[in-house]
C-alpha cells in the first residue's frame, strides 16, 4: 500500500476551528491540500480563519453556529456538504471551560459546559453522519485529559469530556461497519491557547505544568494537527474507537501539578 499525507481533493470540516488548537488543525489540513470548512459562534473569527486558510492556498468556507443548537448545526453542515460534497474528515472540537469548584458554580454553569462539549459533540455527530464518505471517513473528537483524570475545579469538564470519549467509542462500533472510523484525540497542555490561559493563569503555574510533562515541554497546535493528519490519512485506516493522548506523556503521572494548582486557584490562594 502506498501511504500518503496528501489531502488534495479531500474535504475536511473543523467545528470550533476558528482559534487555538482547532484552527491549527484546520491550517495543517489546508497546507496538505484539503478543502477546509470551519465553524464557530463568531462571524469575525470565521471570516478571519477562512481568509487565512485561503492564504495557505486552500479552498475554504465557514459558517457561524452555536453547537448547542442542533438544527443550526445540521443546516451549516448541509451547506458545506452541498458545496464540497462528502466529508472525508470531521474534527469536532468546540468546547468551553472555566475554573470553578462544583460548589463554586451554578447548575447552569455546569450545564453550559456539558451542553457545549458533550451535547455539542452529539449534535455534530448527528449532523455530519449523512454527509460522511462511506466507506472512508475519519471522525476525530477533541477530548481532554479531564476525561479520565479527575481534576479539582474541573468537574463540569471532567463529566463532559468523559461523555465525549464514550460517545467516540460507541459510534466507532455503530458506524464501523460502514467504514467510518471515530476516534478521540486528547491534547496535553498546549502553548498559546485559550485553554491554557484559563487553566494556567500565571507564568509560574505554566512553568510548573511544563516541568510536569515527561517530555519537558508544552505541546504545540502542530503536535495535535499532526496526529489528526495521521488519523485522517490511510496510515490510520485500522484505528477505530481509540482515545489517543497526544500529551508528551503528561497523563501518565496524573497531571498532578495542574490539579493542585487549580485547587489553590479555585480557593483564591493564587490570584
Contact set with ligand NAP (CB under 6 A)? 16, 18-22, 40-42, 45, 65-68, 93-96, 116, 142, 144, 187, 189-190, 193-196
Closest approach of ligand COA to the CB of residue 8, in Å: 31
The C-alpha cell 447548575 sits at: 107
Closest approach of ligand COA to the CB of residue 231, in Å: 20
C-beta of 105 vs 125, nearer to ligand COA: 105
C-beta of 19 vs 260, nearer to ligand NAP: 19
Q: Which does 169 bind (CB under 5 to 8 A by kind): ligand NAP, ligand COA, none?
A: none
Q: Which does 196 bind (CB under 5 to 8 A by kind): ligand COA, ligand NAP, none?
A: ligand NAP
Q: Which does 67 bind (CB under 5 to 8 A by kind): ligand NAP, ligand COA, none?
A: ligand NAP
Q: Which does 106 bind (CB under 5 to 8 A by kind): ligand NAP, ligand COA, none?
A: ligand COA
Closest approach of ligand COA to the CB of residue 213, in Å: 17
C-beta of 56 vs 72, nearer to ligand NAP: 72
Q: Which of these, 148, 62, 129, 46, lies nearest to 90 by C-alpha position? A: 129
- Cα separation, 232 vs 138, in Å, equals 5
Cβ contact 97:81 at 8 Å: no
C-beta of 16 vs 248, nearer to ligand NAP: 16
Q: Which of these, 106, 143, 104, 136, lies nearest to 121 by C-alpha position? A: 143
- Cα separation, 40 vs 251, in Å, equals 29
The C-alpha cell 506523556 sits at: 249
Q: Which does 237 bind (CB under 5 to 8 A by kind): ligand COA, ligand NAP, none?
A: none
DSSP3 helix / strand / coil % (the chain, rounded to 5): 50, 15, 35
- Cα separation, 29 vs 15, in Å, equals 14
- Which residues does 56 contact at the CB level (< 8 Å), separation at least 6? 27, 30, 31
State the cell numbers at 148: 479520565
Note the residues at the interface with ligand COA (CB under 6 A): 95-98, 100, 104-106, 108-109, 112-113, 194-195, 198
Q: Which residue is nearest to ligand NAP (CB)?
A: 20
Cβ contact 211:152 at 8 Å: no
Closest approach of ligand NAP to the CB of residue 144, in Å: 4
Q: Which residue is nearest to ligand COA (CB)?
A: 96
- Cα separation, 170 vs 168, in Å, equals 6
Q: Which does 105 bind (CB under 5 to 8 A by kind): ligand NAP, ligand COA, none?
A: ligand COA
For the chain, strand residue ranges (E) read 11-15, 35-40, 60-64, 89-92, 138-142, 181-187, 243-246
Q: Which does 40 bind (CB under 5 to 8 A by kind): ligand NAP, ligand COA, none?
A: ligand NAP
C-beta of 40 vs 183, nearer to ligand NAP: 40
Amino acid at each position: 500500500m502506498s501511504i500518503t499525507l496528501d489531502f488534495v481533493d479531500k474535504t475536511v470540516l473543523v467545528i470550533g476551528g476558528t482559534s487555538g488548537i482547532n484552527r491549527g488543525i484546520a491550517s495543517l489540513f489546508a497546507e496538505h491540500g484539503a478543502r477546509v470548512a470551519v465553524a464557530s459562534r463568531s462571524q469575525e473569527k470565521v471570516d478571519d480563519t477562512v481568509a487565512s486558510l485561503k492564504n495557505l492556498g486552500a479552498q475554504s468556507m465557514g459558517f457561524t453556529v452555536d453547537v448547542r443548537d442542533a438544527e443550526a448545526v445540521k443546516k451549516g453542515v448541509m451547506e458545506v456538504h452541498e458545496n464540497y460534497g462528502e466529508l472525508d474528515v470531521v474534527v469536532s472540537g468546540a468546547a468551553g471551560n472555566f475554573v470553578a469548584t462544583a460548589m463554586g458554580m451554578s447548575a447552569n454553569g455546569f450545564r453550559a459546559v456539558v451542553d457545549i462539549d458533550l451535547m455539542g459533540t452529539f449534535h455534530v455527530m448527528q449532523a455530519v453522519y449523512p454527509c460522511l464518505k462511506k466507506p472512508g471517513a475519519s471522525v476525530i473528537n477533541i477530548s481532554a485529559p479531564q476525561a479520565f483524570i479527575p481534576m479539582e475545579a474541573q468537574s463540569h469538564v471532567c463529566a463532559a469530556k468523559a461523555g465525549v470519549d464514550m460517545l467516540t467509542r460507541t459510534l466507532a462500533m455503530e458506524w464501523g461497519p460502514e467504514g467510518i472510523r471515530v476516534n478521540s484525540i486528547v491534547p496535553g497542555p498546549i502553548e498559546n491557547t485559550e485553554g491554557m490561559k484559563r487553566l494556567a493563569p500565571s507564568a509560574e503555574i505554566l512553568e510548573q505544568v511544563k516541568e510536569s510533562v515527561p517530555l519537558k515541554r508544552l505541546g504545540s497546535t502542530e503536535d495535535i494537527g499532526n496526529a489528526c493528519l495521521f488519523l485522517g490519512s490511510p496510515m490510520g485506516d485500522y484505528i477505530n474507537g481509540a482515545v489517543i493522548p497526544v500529551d508528551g506523556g503528561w497523563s501518565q503521572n496524573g497531571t498532578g501539578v495542574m490539579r493542585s494548582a487549580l485547587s489553590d486557584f479555585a480557593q483564591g490562594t493564587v490570584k
